[in-house]
Structure 1
């Protein structure tokens, strides 16, 4: 297997079809099909089921995609580091952060850091808590920034930066608007917008 085959497999798994994979890679559909066929032969197990010229990823392909994605990320890090050396940069920092910090807190932090260290490249990946922990444990990033809630993980060193409290937002004329504190029992029977699946705060609530 080679890098182009890995990229074609990742593109197919990401976009769901040979046509969209070809568009993303800016190559022809027959070329993507050949790359996928060669890649399937090299791995030694079935990656796709074929019906009426349509490819569908097998469960083995779904499982294998995570490994391929990690390999591609590692290769991209090699490319980034090579460019940094060629441009006489003095290193690089890889940060994984939850989306809320990418567009707010990190903008100012990175700007100030770059002023003091202009020759250091910084890359930021926005991801949820589970993705961030996976990147940390697999050494895909140097540090992660996010809401952890009392995280207990022997593989992760947690340094508290700040504390915040959760609030409940509602219209001013809502029946609960006069309460200073909203207990969980007060929300019983209420329709409300909750945090996304995977959020540690959602789990705690």
Structure 2
């Protein structure tokens, strides 16, 4: 059964005449009659009663007419909905954000995007960076924001932020007066670290191991403000991205650059070969075009 057959049948039912229906459809009467006959043969019952003057609809024809009208309405609704999506009159995006990144960079960008596209719903789930990467790979999220590096052969990567990690120490710490601290000098320090599900956990741990020591982790947390307050209480030292350090106002904390520098790179990621909605592509492009908001929070 073809949609065209149902449309032609609806036209015959409308005019109760194959002649008038063929004129309306701009096809020949024999071609229209053949189309209707094919539909009847497929359904196994007559749909119209043919006379010299009219083509009356049978009881079976009335049932087919009712379903055909509903099907045409659904097809029209589908076309309208698809048009709405491509014009961003509606849409839905599932995005995964690490908590630190979400609170730091995205409120202003999401607010501006919502003002421009109020009918696009953005569903945000906060996971640690490592779990965001896994969830994008498994299809839970259409897109996510991750800390690089990642296995780029599995993802399309759109870089958005690049800055340095910095060391936070108590103002009475022996290193507090320094402008730079070499990583190897931190061998005997006690660290306030990130939870294992955070990408920064592995990034920083690997950096210290490359310097020849395993970091002594005293506490683990997922909240940068708690980590900084622990430093202010002189419970240990930590390292945080520059943007977060810019928000630390506690006078008991000193912020120091690290050498060699440890980059902190963020990117929007999507899984390669996965369908990305028009709304999703629009959000990615919007984020890339609004990078300035990531540096003036």
Please tell me the TM-score bracket, short chain as reference. Answer: 0.5 to 0.7
1 or 2, which has the higher strand percentage?
2
Partners of 1:192 and 1:134 in 2: CA distance:
27
The ranges of structure 1 where at least 4 consecutive aligned residues each deviate by more than 4 angstroms after the TM superposition are none
Shift of 1:134: 2.1
Aligned equivalent of 2:93: 93
* 2:201 pairs with 1:202: yes
* 2:103 pairs with 1:103: yes
Relative to the length of structure 1, the TM-score reads: 0.52
Could you say what secondary structure the match of 1:125 adopts? strand
Aligned equivalent of 1:168: 167
Could you say what secondary structure the match of 1:198 adopts? coil
Distance 1:202 1:138, change over 3 A: closer
For the 8 Å contact 2:89–2:120, the answer to whether it is kept is: yes
Listed as ranges, the gaps of 5+ residues in structure 2 are 1-84, 205-297
Relative to the length of structure 2, the TM-score reads: 0.37
Could you say what secondary structure the match of 1:163 adopts? strand
Shift of 1:129: 2.0
Partners of 1:131 and 1:173 in 2: CA distance:
37
Distance 1:152 1:93, change over 3 A: same
Aligned equivalent of 1:132: 132
Would you say how many aligned residue pairs link Structure 1 and Structure 2?
119
Aligned equivalent of 1:187: 186
Shift of 1:105: 1.8
Could you say what secondary structure the match of 2:184 adopts? helix
Could you say what secondary structure the match of 1:147 adopts? strand
For the 8 Å contact 1:89–1:121, the answer to whether it is kept is: no
Aligned equivalent of 2:120: 120
Partners of 1:94 and 1:119 in 2: CA distance:
14
For the 8 Å contact 2:130–2:146, the answer to whether it is kept is: no
Aligned equivalent of 2:291: none
Could you say what secondary structure the match of 1:134 adopts? helix
RMSD of equivalent CA atoms = 2.3
Q: Deviations over 1:123-169 (max 9, x none)?
A: 00000123211221122222111322x22232111111010111111
